[in-house]
Amino acid sequence: MTALKNDRFLRALLKQPVDVTPIWMMRQAGRYLPEYRATRAKAGGFMDLCMNQELACEVTLQPLERYPLDAAILFSDILTIPDAMGLGLYFETGEGPRFKKIVDTPEAIDALPIPDPEQDLGYVMDAVKTIRRELNGRVPLIGFSGSPWTLATYMVEGGSSKDFRKSKAFMYDQPEAMHRLLDKLAQSVTSYLNQQILSGAQAVQIFDSWGGSLSSAAYLEFSLAYMKKIVDGLIREHEGRQVPVILFTKGGGLWLESMAETGVEALGLDWTCDIGSARARVGDKVALQGNMDPSALYASPAAIRKEVERILASYGHGSGHVFNLGHGITPEVKPENAGAFIDAVHELSAKYHQ
């Protein structure tokens, strides 16, 4: 494989020295870019875009053509695994993702297959291989998956939810059945991420989008325990390099110490968590990723720079910080504001690495 020309993202995840703080953005290939909207329209639909390796590669690389980002992230969706389990993923305009089949009984859980990542999710692996080839060592490629709890909420609810009433009721009423579902999902995510690594992903992130909706006891039992199981089963070295793992629980600031004990290299932080306080709490155990409020990108470039400086100062000197938003970039952000954000991180962070 081609040698990496820019490896500061991987170095920062391993807390090795870097020249400037690396940056990438969650959802960096997305609707805020006019070129993305054009490619998606050409594809015909969101899943058509995900399943076309050439177009998935095209949109993955689009933000790198515009901005000096330090990593690319695979263009895909967290719901590929439930879809491969036969639930029939589709997207309703204005409603988000939906499933044709709902998993809301112990019998439905027991009937679920564990997908073969090469056979049932081969289109994702083809995209990883294509993107890695086209990157040609420019920056590392991040693979990802949803967490078991997050995937389970969509499967039980049948789609998005504001209050997770069905999945939480199921968890409290039938904890053993919920554990069986989460265990199947943990096995599926482990093999899925491992196949992404073998196909060319150089770091992986677990997106626990809805873990923060749980009580503290439920988070530890029904979300974190299964992410730990995944981490324990991941390939941690490939192509002669360590493969760092990032764990991101939105709303997870309460549990940073427990999250840091899972064996991951880095924790993603949302914008409600002060990064300086987080660093003090986890010490040198893990690197930290984050965590600017995505809404700050609606402000002026001068205000964006000021917020970048505040976060850099809060983290302080030394490596172990990957700059990111505290959640995905939103569709209404002006592309030039995203550019101002990325430039500010590189320009203002150099003094923290001298």
Residues making up the binding site for substrate: 27-31, 77, 154, 209, 327
Annotation says 11 is catalytic: no
The CA distance from 318 to 12, in Å, is 9
Annotation says 27 is catalytic: yes
Cα angle vertex 202, ends 347, 232, to 5°?
120
Check 37, 40, 138, 241 and give the catalytic one: 40
Check 37, 77, 281, 293 and give the catalytic one: 77
Q: How many CA atoms lie within 13 A of 270 on its CB side?
A: 18
Annotation says 352 is catalytic: no
Check 31, 37, 241, 281 and give the catalytic one: 31
Check 7, 8, 11, 27 and give the catalytic one: 27
The CA distance from 271 to 144, in Å, is 21
For 122, the token pair is 């081969």
Q: Which residues are annotated as a binding site?
A: 27-31, 77, 154, 209, 327
> Which residues make beta-bridge pairs with 159?
98
DSSP line for 17-68: --SS--B--TT-SSTTSHHHHHHHHHHSSHHHHHH-HHHHHHHHHHHHHHS-
The helix (H) or strand (E) run that includes residue 205 is strand 203-208
Annotation says 32 is catalytic: no
Annotation says 315 is catalytic: no
The CA distance from 317 to 315, in Å, is 7
Give catalytic residue positions.
27, 31, 40, 77, 154
